[in-house]
Structure 1
Amino acid sequence: GHGHGEGRGDGVLGIAPGARILPVRVILEDGDPARGKARQTRGNALAEGIRWAADHGADVINLSLGDDSKSAHPEPSEDAAVQYALKKGAVVVASAGNGGERGDHISYPAAYPGVIVATAVDENGARASFSTRRWYATVSAPGDDIVIADPDRKYYEGWGTSAASAFVSGAVALVRAARPGLSPAQIKRLLQDTAQDAPAGGRDDSRGFGLIDPAAALSRAAGLKPDSLRARAHGGTYAKKYFGPGPAEDTDDDTHAAWLGPVAAALGTALLAAGAYLWRGRPRRR
């Protein structure tokens, strides 16, 4: 959201108004020609969309969607796509699910490893009743009675962990803009460590590590060193730390063969001499 111009005081101003949006359509209705032609299901459509976004330079992938029905289950293609995006450096954010009043069923893609998962809180910072409570909760964000600008140019009040996920994605976009070298795992830890109003014990399934604080995250990010995966040559300090000494120099097979022959011959001679002596020393019978 960019607002309606400086000084007007109206319009929606987003968390990261300078971000560029790369929309990817992954929800295909039953009558959609694209679905019939490709025979796509939600699983592979979403998986392909995630990979496409990662391949086209997305820094943050927002998944304000999910399946939290009783029949929800992990899709291997989705999981693989999420891991693919993370390895390419894209931060993946997902909504926790809106099943808080219907049994808190696990929601996918929120439950895939490495995803930053947003739960929803109301205006008082308390868990929204609809927000799913599960182990994958990372942080919470506003998600109840949120003013939403619709394509019909009207404003509505909406609710859901999708709104919270959008808020978290905007915060991640700010961090990526300030510190583009930080890895997805670093940014996830950063949001956890700087969250406000942490639950008792530091974390719970309702609000994760607490209410997301974009300003604190940006401040903390300034002092972080980017993680890197760099190849290290064998040698020096790293050789001593990570590698063993290798085989001993005197374990060559040819060396063993060189002294094995003389030793065997000497032992054989000694045995023959001892046998002869014992034979001569035996008493003779008349």
Structure 2
Amino acid sequence: MKLRTIRATCTAVALTGLLGTLATTPAQAATPVGWEGQALGLSAAQQQSQGEGMTVAVLDSGVMEDHPALKGKVTTGPDFLQDGLEPGDPKWGEHGTAMASDVLKVAPKAKILSVRVIDDSDDETPDIKDLEELRNQGKSPLEAGIQYAVDHGADVISMSLGSSDWFNTYSAEESAAVDYALLAGVPVLASAGNSGDGLNSTSYPAGYAGVIAVAATQPNGTRAEFSTVHTYNDVAAPGVAINSATNTGGYKPVNGTSPACALAAGVVALMKAKNPKLTPTQVNDVLIATTNRPAGGGSALLGYGPINAAAAVKASASPPKDETAPAAYEGKEHFATPDGTPKDTHPELEQSVFMTGAVAAGAGLVLLIGGVLLVRSGRRRAPTPGPMGPTGPAGMMPPQGRYPG
């Protein structure tokens, strides 16, 4: 596999000032709770479950485990990014610490497993030589992080991150890693992306099958303008001015589908503590069935609607049956009934149709080449005076990467 570089852009935008504690949840939640507490129904949810016994793997930029809101609750796993940064560096743990605190804000008795797969930098990528070991294993940091989390006791995986470009962001290996988690019974959540007010590009891992993609809402319950609009959106959670821990020991409010994903992961921890037998499919189905459904029903804006934590935890006690288990095919010998055509054969190619398409394609190619040559010839004869702008190679693709959601 071609190992893709990974970078972090702190898209969870800091607002000015520190907010006071607006307590709507029990005292165990050390991180100040704002409007998201009422929006999620945290008080009622935490009367049913506190996330006891659950481990939430936060795949992110690292977590400062000595933060007052996190002390004694964090296990630090490997640094799969291997970029040489360590705790205390400004680009280490800013985003991940915030996300871990948001998980614990919802599930205060859960534990955090921190696995570093991105950094907090806007413009730096890891040196490919530092990643040689992972490259030889054929794994990206995200793929390796998912597998490590599953193998080391994670009950929920939270990924507040996403791909940062339009091209080549899908990875079959990362998709397989998600499948590995789901088959092991571990629900996987990811932020939907923060490009809703820009190019609105597809984001992975949110786009992988089986991942619960979380969009962001603002205080009035509607979509936050930055939240990516896409058919892969499953549910939504608060994502504007969410009080979160910093990697310097304090707190600040942040925006993004990142905190929305972390809060949703906390809700899933409450659900699984209530019913440890919940499968990933049941988690997804319960979350969707108990949302505060928008008047127009589900849509690409917020999926099936904002999460109702209290209702989701209550419904977890009696979830719908999981019917996604593999089953042997018991039908006819051939899928292509009733004509009996074997599935490993196909009709002969109609040569006339093929030749017509080939001729049309060839003619189009000739016209395209001729047009390009004509334009280039015209430019050589009539140069435009004055500056021409950048002289670098045309069509160069931007560096690939991942950013915090």
When the two structures are superposed, what TM-score results if normalisation uses the length of structure 2? 0.52
| Alignment partner of 1:21 is 2:112 | yes
- Partners of 1:69 and 1:179 in 2: how far apart? 38
Residue 53 of structure 1, CA deviation: 0.6
Amino acid at match of 1:130: F
Amino acid at match of 2:301: S
CA contact (8 A) 1:26 1:42 kept: no
Partner of 1:64: 160
- Partners of 1:156 and 1:44 in 2: how far apart? 31
| Structure 2, unaligned runs of 5 or more | 1-22, 33-103, 120-124, 333-405
Partner of 1:105: 201
| Alignment partner of 1:214 is 2:309 | yes
- Partners of 1:229 and 1:106 in 2: how far apart? 26
| Alignment partner of 1:204 is 2:295 | no
Partner of 2:360: none
Partner of 1:75: 171
| Structure 1, unaligned runs of 5 or more | 233-241, 245-286
- Partners of 1:113 and 1:100 in 2: how far apart? 21
- Partners of 1:142 and 1:170 in 2: how far apart? 13
| Alignment partner of 1:179 is 2:282 | no
Partner of 2:243: 147
- Partners of 1:24 and 1:188 in 2: how far apart? 24
- Partners of 2:326 and 2:166 in 1: how far apart? 45
Amino acid at match of 1:206: L
Amino acid at match of 1:53: A
SS in 1 for 2:230: coil
Equivalent of residue 256 in structure 2, options 143, 154, 160: 160
Amino acid at match of 2:308: D
Amino acid at match of 2:210: G
Amino acid at match of 1:217: A
SS in 2 for 1:169: helix
Residue 36 of structure 1, CA deviation: 4.8
Residue 224 of structure 1, CA deviation: 2.5
Partner of 1:87: 183
CA contact (8 A) 2:161 2:191 kept: yes
SS in 1 for 2:163: coil
TM-aligned CA distance change 1:57 to 1:71, over 3 Å: same
- Partners of 1:49 and 1:150 in 2: how far apart? 23
- Partners of 2:181 and 2:324 in 1: how far apart? 16
Residue 106 of structure 1, CA deviation: 0.3
- Partners of 1:112 and 1:230 in 2: how far apart? 19
Show CA shifts across 1:236-286 (max 9, x none).
xxxxxx699xxxxxxxxxxxxxxxxxxxxxxxxxxxxxxxxxxxxxxxxxx
Percent identity between matched residues is 39
- Partners of 2:171 and 2:235 in 1: how far apart? 24
| Higher Rg of the two aligned structures | 1
- Partners of 1:148 and 1:9 in 2: how far apart? 11
Larger RCO (alpha carbons 8 Å, 6+ apart): 2
SS in 1 for 2:113: coil
Give the length in aligned residue pairs.
Answer: 230
Amino acid at match of 2:153: G
Q: Following superposition of structure 1 onto structure 2, how do residues 126-137 of structure 1 map, counting pairs within 5 Å?
A: 126-137=222-233
Residue 55 of structure 1, CA deviation: 1.2
TM-aligned CA distance change 1:25 to 1:210, over 3 Å: same
- Which moved further from structure 2: 190-199 or 77-86? 190-199
| Structure number with higher helix proportion | 1
Amino acid at match of 2:152: H
| Alignment partner of 1:115 is 2:211 | yes
| Alignment partner of 1:224 is 2:315 | no
Amino acid at match of 1:57: G
SS in 2 for 1:141: strand
CA-based RMSD of the aligned residues comes to: 2.9
Partner of 2:40: none
- Partners of 1:25 and 1:160 in 2: how far apart? 20
